[in-house]
Amino acid sequence: MSEVILPALGESVTEGTVTRWLKNIGDSVAVDEPLVEVSTDKVDTEIPSPFAGTLTQIMVQEDETVAVGAVLAIVGEAASAAPAETAPAAPEAAAAPVEAAPVAPVATPPVAAAPVTPPAPVAAAPAAPVAPVAPVATPPVTAPVATEQAAPVAPAPVAPAAPAAPAAPVATAPVAANEETSSDPNYVTPIVRKLAAEMGIDLGTIRGSGVGGRIRKEDLTAATSKTAPAAAHAPAEASPLRGTTVPMSRLRKVLSERAVASMQQSAQLTSVVEVDVTKIAEMRQRVQAEFTQKAGTKLSFMPFFTLAAAEALAANPIINATVEDTNIVYHGSDNISFAVDTERGLLTPVLKDAAHMSISTMAQAIADMAERTRSNKLTPDELSGGTFTLTNTGSRGALFDTPVVFLPQSAILGTGIVTKRAAVVKDADGNDAIGIRSMVYLALSYDHRIIDGADASRFLMQVKIRLEAGKFEANLGL
């Protein structure tokens, strides 16, 4: 018997709440196979099993909160746990001998218990011709996997000529289900799979834009807009949540508590400037193809905003400072948090020492961390240590907003949508003229306890000057 404990999920994480068990008692588990989902005040994550065997006991129930180091479950050896599970399974096998046959060829997961022969007299006959699979496929304890794969392998029990139907395709299916590695472009997160089902989209027709070709929520939205342009003019469909009451998730509770605490304990206000980013827009169009090929991700405005902010923080350390009692702590590095919208709420992964990153490195890091944040693969430490936050409020079309500063940080920069509109410019002779320019609003919310309006204006003007100059060729990193 081996104990599965709640591991340390970050320096500041002391407890976690079990949100969902991915295995039931009696199920077989492999090493590093996801066993349970746990929610903390930093991130929701899957806890993998450090042992191979059979789940014999669940010590912490769903929605129960325990401290780091608490025992979550007991995993026993497959050979010792199999007889306990096969005793009740025997009458089921006798009552439904037809269903026993597909279990044998399907069940190829790691529980290889050849001694489990009593409950499989019926399955033994059809399994005999399939010599390569018979030794592995006998344990009925893998019934959950068989049920999960029942649809794709339905043809297996139909054909009497078992030797003509090799087990190769059956053997690969569990591997795809159990080895959900980041390098597998065919893996789709449960959130995306559920959303695709709700939208009636066939995932096989979607080309993913995420890391390694992963399909993201944005890909589903884009596919919908392409296939149904008339839907944009149709009334929005009513949400099934209307008229219901649901409990807050742990993450939502933490966010709400911190937002209220930040507003009560700090004096917040917002300053806004308008920035002409036409030169950056022209650069993006000029180098987009080369950048995408070499960096592996598209070049957006976000890395430019982030780099300009990081450089301005070095010259305006008060914007990057923290209040501790009656002291002001000036941080020695610019660790910029950036907001990511997820199904579970707003999360902020951190770019460490952002001012020392190239545009390509920053773009890759933003794309990678945003994707892993949405797919629940980010570690808590990657969400900690931020000294300043940047939130792209324009990603959903907003001109600007007044973002909330979350303590202990003292400032947050909101970037609005970049839009083309008429603006006053200088012509070749230095005279005022009207031109079509790419414009954006930058809104800085800050803690007025230590940051004055003049400090905020100096910071914003330095960011504005850097962006409007558009001289980022040396920072591209191509």
Query: How confident is the model over 204-261, as pLDDT tens digits?
Result: 788 777 656 778 777 777 776 665 555 455 677 888 888 999 888 878 888 899 999 9
Model confidence at 48, in pLDDT bands (50, 70, 90)?
Answer: confident
What confidence score (pLDDT) does residue 275 get?
97
| 426 touches 433 (CB < 8 A) | yes
Mean pLDDT to the nearest integer, 334-363 = 91
**375 and 442 fall within a common domain:** yes
**134 and 44 fall within a common domain:** no
Model confidence at 201, in pLDDT bands (50, 70, 90)?
Answer: confident
- Residue 470's Cβ-side half-sphere holds a number of Cα atoms within 13 Å equal to 13
| 393 touches 414 (CB < 8 A) | yes
**100 and 41 fall within a common domain:** no
**210 and 288 fall within a common domain:** no
* pLDDT surpasses 90 at 477: no
CB burial readout 447-458, b (16+ within 10 A) else e: beebbeeebbeb
**123 and 66 fall within a common domain:** no
Percentage of the chain lying above the pLDDT 90 cut: 41
Torsion of CA 418, 421, 425, 429, to 10 degrees: 120
- End residue of a domain, out of 119, 148, 178: 178
Count of domains observed in the chain: 4
Evaluate whether residue 148 is within a structural domain: yes
Query: How confident is the model over 2-47, as pLDDT tens digits?
Result: 889 888 877 667 888 888 898 899 899 988 888 888 887 767 778 8
- End residue of a domain, out of 76, 98, 129: 76
**434 and 321 fall within a common domain:** yes
Evaluate whether residue 53 is within a structural domain: yes
**280 and 411 fall within a common domain:** yes
Evaluate whether residue 259 is within a structural domain: no
Q: Which residues are known catalytic residues?
A: 448, 452
3-class DSSP state for residue 389? strand
**431 and 379 fall within a common domain:** yes
CATH number at residue 298: 3.30.559.10
Residue-number span of the structural domain to which 117 is assigned: 79-178
**142 and 47 fall within a common domain:** no
CATH number at residue 62: 2.40.50.100
Query: How confident is the model over 360-389, as pLDDT tens digits?
Result: 999 999 999 999 888 888 888 888 899 999
